[in-house]
Chain A
Amino acid sequence: MEIIFNTESLSFEYISHDEKKEQKTLALNDINVSITQGEFVSILGHNGSGKSTLARHLNALLLPTAGTLWVKGMDTKNAQNTWQIRQTSGMVFQNPDNQLVATIVEEDVAFGPENLGVPSAEIRQRVDWALSSVGMSKYADVGPHQLSGGQKQRIAIAGVLAMRPDCIILDEPTAMLDPRGRKEVMQTVLELNRNQGITVILITHFMEEAVLTDRVIVMDAGLVVMDDTPRNIFKEVDRMKKLGLDVPAVTALAHQLRNNNIELPDDILTIEEFITYFKP
């Protein structure tokens, strides 16, 4: 598989100004990761750990202050690549209301390709495909204000899809949604990854969502501190707690029972697994 993102000693430092002094903060500190086309990666970390800063580097919204990031072999620091890099990956943010620009759903989805100068027949095709990919074809001609939060996020995802990206980066897309909306969005993203092979990078605070991904990257103070499968990450219950993160409730329960000398595997992630092993 082709590598889509690749970093070498990527660092990002920003300077905050005060009346008296300048303060330097190293938001990303010597990051070395590579992500393959088709992977579904989640990034965990408490607020201020550098997750969003890293994500914003992936489509050249931010540029490294040291080290290099290549997107499909293109160096993000080279301004000539910026346009093509932004088409490689699209971003979806936390607040659905901040991302929808048009008054009708299908016009909103068409906004991206229109801006790219795509011929109108193809725009039509892309919009229909994008809306059906997120299961929102029925709502093509309604106003975004008539949609629920989960539906709005799916439209935001469709808007990104219409640009035909290789990768979608989602920065806490479900933070403002209720459980039903959260499920809808996760289902949509999973299907896009499985069926269309789109690389997905998901920043989240919901451990139950990270469980569904192929690979978890844990960040702390600008460093990548863990990078493994969800199963191997979440069995480190104490370490995760120390990093200010949770583990799925079922995993935490299994961990406590193990501490009470009850025999259970240390890497239980789901209710079904728990029941299988708990039954005598």
Chain B
Amino acid sequence: MILEVENLSHVYDFGTPFARHAIKNINFSLKANEFVGIIGHTGSGKSTLVQHLNALIKPSGGRILLADEDIHADKTKLKSVRQRVGLVFQYPEHQLFEVNIYKDVCFGPLNMGLEPDEVALRAKEALQLVGLSEELYNKSPFELSGGQRRRAAIAGVLAMHPDILILDEPTAGLDPAGRDAILSQIAKMQKAVGNTVVLVSHNMEEISRLVDRILVMSAGEIFFSGTPAEVFSDTEKLTAAGLAPPPIAILMSELRACGFNIPSGIFTVDAAAEVLTSLKRSEKREKGAEQ
């Protein structure tokens, strides 16, 4: 276990009449090399949860163990916690501030006190991982497209070589092509670097293709969890959690209700096409046999 969360809870505005539980009774752990998705409606506590994981927010109750050590045990170690757990915020491109993207990506490693050679190496490697080519290094963030800017911002976190990379809604506001580009880069990078990645999203399809395991949050708690196949075929529970199940999962469950024999765990276009094709073909064969 690289990271363990035990009975984590957080109360905003504690001690005032506005006090409310943002998250409560959260228990889960992350293994090395694992790719985990967190989904949930707005206000379900996703962002509050991930901001705890790199010690940006202090828990009101419970604790977080990073490699068996409570991250809040020693205040002087918080900086190292934040380097080991890299968090890419929502709309990270708003945080680019340097004159060009190369310098921006160098900022993190420089701050870690690394040698200039190592910084350059890491910056180039990170920019390559997110698919930004060398011609763009000297461009101002203002000259890049939204998707490119966002990738530059992600590279800035990657260059710190975090053991755990957390991405909070990395594709919000991007077009389908930009969405696919970012996600396939993230997947490629996860394979190449082998770190642990946590992806927060409310886009079901994108999460389903990438992750090993999904945590579904609702009203500040982990409502249920499982493999993508388990989670996405449970259209009822997803709806109860305020989420829209993937359209294909809904279609499959409705076809099942019409008497079609369709196995569970189908929620992508490709998988559905395969199942429905063989279904129709055997239907045809039976008809042929009857005649």
Contacts and interface: CB of A to CB of B under 8 A. Distances in A.
Nearest to B273: A256
A245 interface: yes
A172 B42 contact: no
A172 B283 CA distance: 44
Interface residues of B, number: 35
B258 to A, nearest CB: 6
Contacts of B173: 94, 172, 175-176
B189 interface: no
Nearest to B249: A249
B248 A250 contact: yes
B277 A47 contact: no
B68 interface: no
A83 interface: no
Contacts of A180: 41-42, 242, 244
Contacts, number: 94
A260 B242 CA distance: 35
Interface in B246-291: 246-248, 250-251, 254-255, 258, 269-270, 272-273, 276-277, 280, 283
B147 A47 contact: yes
A12 B142 CA distance: 20
A275 B247 CA distance: 13
Interface string A131-151: 000000000000000001110
- Interface range, A side: 35 or more
A249 to B, nearest CB: 4
B228 to A, nearest CB: 15
Interface in A232-280: 244-246, 248-250, 252-253, 256-257, 260, 262, 271, 274-275, 278-280
A117 interface: no
B146 A253 contact: no
Contact of A260 (B41, B178, B205, B277): B277
A258 B43 CA distance: 41
B159 to A, nearest CB: 25
A177 B172 CA distance: 9
A264 to B, nearest CB: 10
B114 interface: no
A115 B30 CA distance: 54
Interface string A174-201: 0111111101000000000000000000
B89 to A, nearest CB: 13
A253 B273 contact: yes
Given A94-B173, A248-B247, A46 B269 contact: no
Given A249-B246, A253-B272, A47 B145 contact: yes
A278 B269 contact: no
B276 A257 contact: yes
B175 interface: yes
A65 B280 CA distance: 56
A208 interface: yes
B43 A148 contact: yes
A248 to B, nearest CB: 7
Interface string B215-250: 000000000000000000000000000111011101
B10 interface: no
A109 B73 CA distance: 48
Given A178-B42, A178-B202, A256-B269, A262 B276 contact: yes
A227 B254 CA distance: 33
B273 A257 contact: yes
A214 B145 CA distance: 30
Contact of B202 (A47, A172, A179, A256): A179
B27 to A, nearest CB: 24
A178 B250 CA distance: 18
Contacts of A16: 143
Contacts of B254: 271, 275
B174 A47 contact: yes
Interface string A1-43: 0000000000000001010000000000000000000000000
Interface of B: 41-43, 143, 145-147, 172-178, 202, 205, 242-244, 246-248, 250-251, 254-255, 258, 269-270, 272-273, 276-277, 280, 283
Given A47-B178, A205-B174, A249-B246, 4 more contacts: A46-B178, A47-B145, A176-B172, A208-B247
22 contacts: A16-B143, A47-B174, A47-B175, A149-B42, A175-B172, A178-B202, A178-B243, A179-B202, A180-B41, A205-B174, A205-B175, A244-B177, A249-B269, A253-B248, A253-B251, A257-B277, A257-B280, A260-B273, A262-B280, A271-B251, A275-B258, A278-B255
Ordered nearest first, which 5 A-B pairs have the shortest CB separation?
Answer: A179-B244, A244-B177, A256-B273, A178-B42, A249-B247
